[in-house]
A and B are shown apart, each in its own frame.
Chain A
Amino acid sequence: MTMTDIQIERANLDVFSEALMKIAEKDKDILVVTSDSRGSGKLGPFAERFPDQIVEVGIAEQNMVGVSAGLASTGKKVFAVSPGSFLTARALEQIKNDVAYSDYPVVLVGISSGVSYGALGSTHHSLHDLAALRAINNLTVVIPADAYETEQAILQASVAKKPVFIRFGKKPMPLLPRPEMEFEFGKASVISTGSDVSFIATGETVAPAYEASKILADIGISAGVVSMHTIKPLDKTTLIAQAKSCRALISVEEHSVHGGLGEACASALMTAGIHLPFKIIGIADEDTKTGSQVEIFDHYGISGRGLSKTALSLLK
């Protein structure tokens, strides 16, 4: 895909299903396993074009992950696709043992992750997944921010020799301007650099962080934005470089403030002996406010306005 192919606002979910079709066409060992989730996964067209490359197991996430591991052990390249919350809570033990510990390179795809389901409420939100999966050895944890990162993540996961978890939402995302078209698991993408503050954001929170950097620029504050698309392994080099080149850091994630990107960054910074004004922005540890994804983001300060305000107070 070249930059010109990409419409400006595209849902990562759409990019995912198209990328999957591209690789499935060339490689008959590519399989998608779903738990009555082909509709939510926008996999209807995939199922029509590649009926022999999709396996439906019904609403049974534990079995979905176990079956995926079994398939992968025979050489199949399996994408196990299910809503992020059900995939990572219901089937956590299968992820831990059948995939990660047994070391079969299943690609676990959490769709409609974070608070994508918005007003459907907390049963459908996945705000625990990063905390849970970060503590599982042998699992790469990826949250692409836009169409470019999503496509790259799917392509690279399809040839990975190790298990990968990828999660995204379904809201159209702007294509981020990036100085370099480079994407590698474990290597953060620096979208822009700033000397006052830097946003270390991930997934669908990178766009509002970028918006905040524009707002801040208008009032003379130099703010950088990093897409920390890989939560594990965390790109500590880029994180520390950002901390050293500005006065304050703000982590942003569509996840509980506990156990996710923010705490990973805090740990890496403190361990490296770096102390600077730092704030973790995410979903507070409380009964999550209801509303659409945008409204929930807004409520927790994950917006251009909210994040720029946080930056100003941190820089005071």
Chain B
Amino acid sequence: MKAYTDRELEIKSVQYRMNLLRYIKQANAGHTGGSLSCTDILNVLYNDVLNVSPDTFTSRNRDRYIQSKGHSVEALYVVLADMGFFPEDDLNTLCRYGSDYVGHPTRKINGIEFNTGALGHGLSISAGIALAGKMDGRTYRVFTLLGDGELAEGSNWEAAMMAAHYRLDNLHAILDHNTLQITGRNREVCSPYPINEKFRAFGWEVTEVNGHDISKLRKVFKTIPRKKGKPSLIIASSVKGKGISFMEDEKKWHHGVPSDEQYKLALGELKKKMEALRV
């Protein structure tokens, strides 16, 4: 794995945001807000944490990444393309008739492990993979990205209980905690709080981090497993629509597609950010 500086990864994040906005704009479809909120997390995972590449994707000992919040697939697509899992040009077909690049992850795309998108599935799947690793004495780790809205799905809590029971310290859930779901604030829709205390009560090791601070994210992932015998939850505080001023923390960007004017503005903001980083 190439060793990047924090600055280099920050530049990648801006590029990923530009790319995902381009393909969403082109497809006239996509989960813009959620993709922007998990961009930095995926960046750090794939470029700094996961022991997986196009060459090792069929290895039994590869690290696994399961995107439970499947709707933010555009962020995943642009990162996978950057990792060389498929040519980025493929994304020109995003959501087009007959394209394999549909609006949620599927195994038809190289680099994707499971077909997700219906919520509350990723944690159970990940627990199963982690359990197999323990049974076979393998050293791979399993990472899954959860949305905060999907914590209302009861299956998460079935999996949380079971993962602690089997002491799956090779299982790492990351919560993309942007505090919004399609209807509005999590706490107003059906409060998931206190999230940290709930998971701790279920037997998990919980840590919190700024989900957009590349340096801090890298540090958190360096310290896993955080506690022997315990699955871990990393609550990544994030902002839905992160990086585009008028999209930030606005529920309407859950799957909003920018108009031509908005797209120009958004790209302008990202270009400015890029220039600042490259100084």
Contact = CB atoms under 8 A, between A and B. Distances in A.
A57 B162 contact: yes
A74 B107 contact: no
A112 interface: no
A72 B121 CA distance: 15
B66 to A, nearest CB: 8
B131 A98 contact: no
Contact of B60 (A63, A75, A93): A75
B23 interface: no
B127 A63 contact: yes
B133 interface: yes
Contact of A70 (B60, B118, B124, B165): B124
B159 interface: yes
Contacts of B136: 74
A295 interface: no
Nearest to A103: B107
Interface residues of B, number: 31
A237 interface: no
A93 B162 CA distance: 19
Interface string B162-181: 10010000000000000000
Contacts of A58: 158, 161-162, 165
Contact of A55 (B120, B123, B131): B131
B54 interface: no
Contacts, number: 93
Q: How large is the interface on A (under 10, 10 to 19, 20 to 34, 35 or more residues)?
A: 20 to 34
B122 to A, nearest CB: 8
A60 B120 CA distance: 13
A94 interface: yes
A229 interface: no
Nearest to A74: B132
Contacts of B132: 70-71, 74-76
A60 B162 contact: yes
Nearest to A33: B128
A67 B166 CA distance: 12
B1 interface: no
Interface string A56-70: 011010110111111
Contacts of A182: none
Nearest to A104: B114
A73 B124 contact: no
Given A68-B128, A70-B125, A70-B132, A63 B159 contact: yes
B158 A60 contact: yes
B124 A98 contact: yes
A71 B159 CA distance: 14
B113 interface: yes
Contacts of B135: 52
A102 interface: yes
Contact of B114 (A55, A62, A63, A98): A98
A57 B125 CA distance: 13
B158 A70 contact: no
Contact of A74 (B60, B121, B127): B60
B128 A71 contact: yes
A58 to B, nearest CB: 7
B155 interface: yes
A198 B133 CA distance: 51
A72 B123 CA distance: 15
Q: Closest 3 CB pairs between A and B?
A: A70-B128, A66-B124, A63-B158
Interface of A: 52, 55, 57-58, 60, 62-63, 65-76, 93-94, 97-98, 101-103
15 contacts: A57-B162, A58-B158, A58-B162, A62-B120, A63-B155, A67-B162, A69-B125, A69-B128, A74-B129, A74-B133, A94-B121, A94-B124, A97-B116, A98-B115, A98-B124
